[in-house]
Structure 1
Amino acid sequence: MFKTFSHDRDKTTWKKSVRQIFFGGLFTKYIAGILLVILGFLIATFSLEWLEQLGMGLDRIYLYLPAIVSVCLTQIIIRISPSPRFWSRGLIVTILIGLTLRYLFWRSLSSLNLSNPIDGIFSISLFVLELLVIFSSVLQLYLMYHLKDRRREADYYSQQVINEEYCPYVDIFIPTYNEPIFILKRTIIGCKLLNYKHKEIYVLDDTGRAEVKQLAEELGCYYISRSHNTHAKAGNLNNALQQTNGELVVVFDADFVPTTNFLERTIGFFQNNKIALLQTPQSFYNADPISRNLGLEHILNPEEEVFYRQLQPMKDGVGSVICAGTSFVVRRSYLEEVGGFVTESISEDYFTGIRLSSQGYEVIYLSEKLSAGLAAESISEHIAQRLRWGRGTLQAFFIKENPLTIPNLTFKQRLAHLEGILHWFNGIPRCLFLMLPFLYSIFNIVFIQITSDEFIYIFLPCYITHLSVFRWLSFKTRSVIFSDIYSLISCFPTSYNSLKVIFNPFNTTFRVTIKGISRNYYVYNFKLALPLIICLIINLISLVVSLFRDPTTVIDFNIGTYWSLYNALIICVALLAFLDKPKPSIYDSFPLRKKIKILASNQVIYGKTLEISEEGATILVNSHNDIPAEFILQLGRLKIDSYLMEKSNNNHQDKKKLRIKFNQLTLQQHQEIIYLLYSHPQRWTSKELKLSPGELVSLRLAVTVLFNFLAILLIPKRRKQAKIMSN
């Protein structure tokens, strides 16, 4: 009845790969590459022999072979397959797992320092923490064998929806608690623009606001409220389930705007009676506060990009997709069969998906950006949001929907859920790793026995290989350095939160992320930064001490120096992310280039937009034109009454840059602006994914960020511009 698909879209056979290499014009290229590697090795060999003659102690060249071979092999694979494919990803993952097990074997048998009780306690403790991190990493590597891509399926099923061969009735739920009206209106308009006839839109207001009811009536959708807030969002959704009857239910958070083809690309999957829920990515139209505060919003990808491009397809491959609470479709009959949305945890979405899976239904993932929402707009809200996610996930240990114990899940499904649970404990070893160089340098606690030969022969191949393929495996969304910085920023709050949940899982009430804010000044979140400030001080102390100490008899490689230096660098960058930049407007602007006309006083002035938002635009026009205070802006077929806010000379002598503001938009005009900014098909998928910089470039960017901040502190003019308030 249903068409069979090969889910591994990127699957390439060995036969095809070899044919491509030998007969695709690439043979000479790769032979030349291999010869260059051999030549480089010979040069390195002679160089090392020369260094040995200088007394540098590098007399055993074979020690470098594992590092050279593993890096060269992985780089050859990456050059043949620039994007991870079935065969290349499998080879890389196998190499990484092998190197990790080799390192683990050495750590367990040769590197523990049990010479005295104090060193023994710290050495074993460090090893246990490493085991936690390594186990979590190996789980991820194992799951990479199972990536699934359903976009070809969506192409097939969507045609049946477009041709109206399959058209179930759909109820669209927009739960809201305290979101500003302008954000909610944006989402409702986006839902009204959806290309699908058989839909009804329901605004689920958990605060009973009169203005929300009025908005729903104005925009022609249904309004549902209740007299209490029991079970928060889950209770709100369950209350709406009892008052509606559509075959499928779609949920959008109050700040998420769908593209017009959302339903066309998703609901066709439900022709397969095994499917209970389909999740799509959470995409955000504004920069996350970390990249924005560091001034790298045009370089770094959002933090969620790694999860939705890498982790969710991995989980889909083993049937353990995480329902993310927004931008998903669920079959009503199956949802009602399992008792509705789970109310025992604040992560009702996650555990509802688990409950459906335990009944034998499929929870699947479509890796296609079909909606976009508003990311947290301050670093404090960003971290608070993650703490809520972590608290909800770890409540699994205390409810019957625990994915590790609930009946009928497969072993692979449990492993995938275990990986997600362990993620919230990874902050604990990260915090302690920041303090170990201090213990080594100041208190002479030797927590690992490692010689320079062992460092080169065992540690270096494992570390360099992981470093060289991390960006490739994550589809070039994140480098190791910035991944570490992101995790460092929240490691202390998440570690405390995880331990707190274990001892008291249900003592905190649900709090919605505050959105729609504006501010005209800098805010430094000193309270959140304090643990890292302390860590920076102790790492600088340990660095200074390590530089002037002699190697001990136990360890002839001064690991404390390098560890302290690295810690100090990334802590400094992480501390800068706690400085929230000004956000003058509640509206976000988008860099859209569109031709425009200014119509005023019997003249037509031509120009183009640089940025557009819901309240206005920045445009570029010829400098010889006199711009009136009020005029009509024509953007395509759209004509909007506008007025001039500010004008300035552009870098080009013959151009002026104008900042204009729209007068009161009509509903029709607002709909067209929403369509342009958020809702037209391919709005987010056509947006090129920023390729994360490599490790060396990431290091340069980190240093540049530090120097820019020092310039603000040391240059009076820039310091005056940056009015900083402490929060």
Structure 2
Amino acid sequence: MSRRLLLIRVIVVLTAVLGVNYVLWRWLFSVHWSAWWIAVPLVVAETYSLIDSLLFGMTMWRLKERGEPPAPPEDATVDVFITTYNEPIELVMRTARAAQAISYPHTTWILDDGNRDDLRAVAEAEGIGVINRSGDWTPDRPRHAKAGNLNNALLATEGEFLLILDADQVPKPEILDRTLGWFRDDQMALVQTPQWFENVPDDDPLGSQAPLFYGPIQQGKDGWNAAFFCGSNAVIRREALMMLGVTRYAGEVEIGVHRALRTAKRVLARARKELGPDDETARRALDLVGYEIGRARREIARGIALADVTYRFQRRMDDVRRTLVDADLQALQADLAEIAAMEQQADAQGGTGLATIDETTLEHMASRDWSPLGAVETVSALVSAVDVDRGEEAQPVMPLATISVTEDMATCMRLHGLGWRTAYHDEVLAHGLAPEDLPTMLTQRLRWAQGTMQVLFRENPLAQRRLRWSQRLMYFATMWSYLSGFAALVYLAAPILYLAVGVLPVQAYGPDFFIRLVPFLIVNQLLFVVVAAGRPTWRGQQYSLALFPTWIKAFTSAFGNVFLRRDLDFAVTPKTRPASTGPAWHLVRPQLWAMGALAGAAVIGAVRYAVGQATLVGWSLNTLWVIFDLAIFSIIIRAARYRGFEPDLEEDHDRL
């Protein structure tokens, strides 16, 4: 164990002990119950922050620095996928030309979801392949955005490994030489490298570089075999993806069949109630269906191939339907014979056919069940329920996850669930383009957060039995962090309420409070400093609080999409700088209101302290809290005014 890792573990233990001690004391002894409406939310928010701190500490506990990779295999086949939809052709071709220049033997493909003839012409003229969606992706079937684009290309190519690049991620020539060596481990499914952006100034006003995530956090997750797939700059083993696709297909179909067969018993019970006492044929047919349902469930439990079970079940249902149809024909023939006899009787009596038949006889015929329609419809519904062709999808097998607007996290979590390993190679091997204005950045962050929340709601990692508990917690830690928007509301409200109207959410700001809180805060920040090892982390801390409206919107919109079937309001991140239209203040109106409220509370608090309505300790502490919050939110002003990266021409000239 290195000295750095030993130091990190010591600080993690101290942070955990001090944090648990503080929060337990807060719950047991210091909640100001007379102001419960702010006191309880505050202690809940502090508990949230403690859990966040504990998850971060656990991540850092096994921080893994891999060092030099093994030599790459000599004969591996590689497909380089460049995903694009509507990005400028020159931007896409810049990445494609760099991909073509990768030193390790490979084939370069542009996956053009925009189906542009002009891009195809330019690419093929330079010997670069272009893949569009196959004809199976008809307009009435979901396209699944980037995940669908990649899934389509997987079935059109054959390389053992895939290097996935976004349209703006320009790879270095050595990217495959530096990553393929990790796949000498036969269980290695994915190697992720950092995303680094060349159009970001040193002060990074939009917080694009994420040096803490693309560094210690990914290294920590790597130590628990939970390094994430981040959508680009990653190499993936095709075998792992295809195994995942087939396994998921089989699993989802089996779940669907089990669900259909369970539902079928209730459907049959309702259908039997609708039958009359004379519907003996339909009753026997439904009894036969019930028997076949039980037999299908027993066959599945014995491990018989699902396709064989459903095929035999469907054939038996065809026999049942023929039986019902034959019964209907016999009943119809009997009715026709009865009608003919009545007509003959009427003619013999000198009448005019049906017009002279007794009204009671006609009423009896009208009310008769001409066909056991309910039973027929039930049988048809059962046949459809166990249909396994997945005709609503363009491809029955979907290796890349389609349950989220971001395909990466869910796909990687599923790979880990199958027992595959992943690695994080901490070396910048591609240069990308980051958002260059606030609207574009907010679009990007919202999409990331929405995708993460969709995965949480649909496949909560804590409930994934195939994952080890450490892996479940590593995935959950990232999802948990996006709930910070709700805690931020409380952290904003508490000092404002005290300074403005004197509402105290704790029993008192006495020695017990400071003795427990201050050491925890100091040690917690010390952990960030040691873990970062010189990497800037302040910008990330600012945006984790300053983007609270984005995180809340991501949670509510994803919840509405998953549980209420509402459309998800999201957009793909633009890759070009928009025309200058001035600061987009309307996009950060909640933050501006929060800053105004903080500043106003500080002024009111000073007046209240001056006239003796606030204690020195309470006023000082909450004023410092307000100043800290304003320092956090100050980045929003800079972000709104930021108009894009202006490169240093002299520096670029020296670099060339």
Q: Determine the C-alpha separation between the residues in 2 that align with 1:242 and 1:483.
A: 39
Structure 1 unmatched ranges of 5 or more: 1-7, 13-84, 294-300, 592-609, 620-675, 678-727
Does structure 1 conserve the Cα–Cα contact (< 8 Å) formed by 2:608 and 2:614? no
> Deviation at 1:576?
2.8
Q: Tell me what 2:129 maps to.
A: 222
Q: Determine the C-alpha separation between the residues in 2 that align with 1:288 and 1:386.
A: 19
> Which residue of 226, 239, 246 maps to 1:333?
239
Match for 1:568: what amino acid? Answer: L
SS in 1 for 2:190: strand
Taking structure 1 as the reference length, the TM-score comes to 0.64
Stretch moving more, 510-519 or 332-341: 510-519
> Deviation at 1:494?
1.6
- What does residue range 520-539 of structure 1 map to in structure 2 within 5 Å? 521=580, 523-539=582-598
**Alignment size in residue pairs:** 491
Q: Tell me what 2:38 maps to.
A: 122
SS in 2 for 1:204: strand
Q: Determine the C-alpha separation between the residues in 2 that align with 1:532 and 1:510.
A: 21
SS in 1 for 2:108: strand
Q: Determine the C-alpha separation between the residues in 2 that align with 1:109 and 1:418.
A: 28
Q: Which has the higher strand share?
A: 1
- What does residue range 278-677 of structure 1 map to in structure 2 within 5 Å? 278-287=191-200, 291-292=204-205, 302-339=208-245, 340-399=399-458, 401-480=459-538, 482-505=539-562, 507-508=567-568, 511-517=571-577, 519=579, 521=580, 523-550=582-609, 557-558=618-619, 559-581=621-643, 589=647, 610-612=650-652
Residue 233 to residue 302, structure 1, CA distance change in 2 (3 Å) = closer
Q: Determine the C-alpha separation between the residues in 1 that align with 2:426 and 2:98.
A: 20
> Deviation at 1:168?
0.6
Q: Tell me what 2:185 maps to.
A: 272
> Deviation at 1:245?
0.6
Q: Determine the C-alpha separation between the residues in 2 that align with 1:103 and 1:148.
A: 30
SS in 2 for 1:341: coil
Match for 1:563: what amino acid? Answer: W
Match for 1:326: what amino acid? Answer: S
Q: Tell me what 1:169 maps to.
A: 77
- CA RMSD of the aligned region, Å? 2.5
Does structure 1 conserve the Cα–Cα contact (< 8 Å) formed by 2:210 and 2:540? no
Match for 2:61: what amino acid? Answer: Y
Residue 579 to residue 386, structure 1, CA distance change in 2 (3 Å) = same
> Deviation at 1:402?
3.5
> Deviation at 1:344?
2.1
Q: Determine the C-alpha separation between the residues in 2 that align with 1:305 and 1:317.
A: 18
Does structure 2 conserve the Cα–Cα contact (< 8 Å) formed by 1:359 and 1:408? yes
Q: Which has the higher helix share?
A: 2
Q: Determine the C-alpha separation between the residues in 1 that align with 2:404 and 2:544.
A: 25
SS in 2 for 1:360: coil
> Deviation at 1:102?
2.3
Residue 510 to residue 503, structure 1, CA distance change in 2 (3 Å) = closer
> Deviation at 1:174?
0.7
Taking structure 2 as the reference length, the TM-score comes to 0.71
> Deviation at 1:147?
0.8
Residue 590 to residue 409, structure 1, CA distance change in 2 (3 Å) = farther
Q: Tell me what 2:30 maps to.
A: 111
Structure having greater relative contact order (Cα 8 Å, sep ≥ 6): 2
Q: Tell me what 1:38 maps to.
A: none
Does structure 1 conserve the Cα–Cα contact (< 8 Å) formed by 2:41 and 2:490? no
- Which of these two proteins has the greater Rg computed from alpha carbons? 2
Residues 1:206 and 2:113 aligned together:
yes
> Deviation at 1:479?
4.6
SS in 1 for 2:83: strand
Stretch moving more, 548-557 or 459-468: 548-557
> Deviation at 1:469?
4.4
Match for 1:443: what amino acid? Answer: V
Does structure 1 conserve the Cα–Cα contact (< 8 Å) formed by 2:435 and 2:574? yes
Q: Tell me what 2:102 maps to.
A: 194
Q: Determine the C-alpha separation between the residues in 1 that align with 2:542 and 2:112.
A: 38
Q: Determine the C-alpha separation between the residues in 1 that align with 2:108 and 2:202.
A: 31
Q: Determine the C-alpha separation between the residues in 1 that align with 2:203 and 2:237.
A: 37
Q: Determine the C-alpha separation between the residues in 1 that align with 2:616 and 2:423.
A: 51
Q: Determine the C-alpha separation between the residues in 1 that align with 2:44 and 2:514.
A: 23
Q: Determine the C-alpha separation between the residues in 1 that align with 2:221 and 2:129.
A: 36
> Deviation at 1:552?
6.8
Match for 1:491: what amino acid? Answer: F
Does structure 2 conserve the Cα–Cα contact (< 8 Å) formed by 1:289 and 1:580? no
Residues 1:101 and 2:20 aligned together:
yes
Identity %: 29
Q: Determine the C-alpha separation between the residues in 1 that align with 2:435 and 2:169.
A: 13
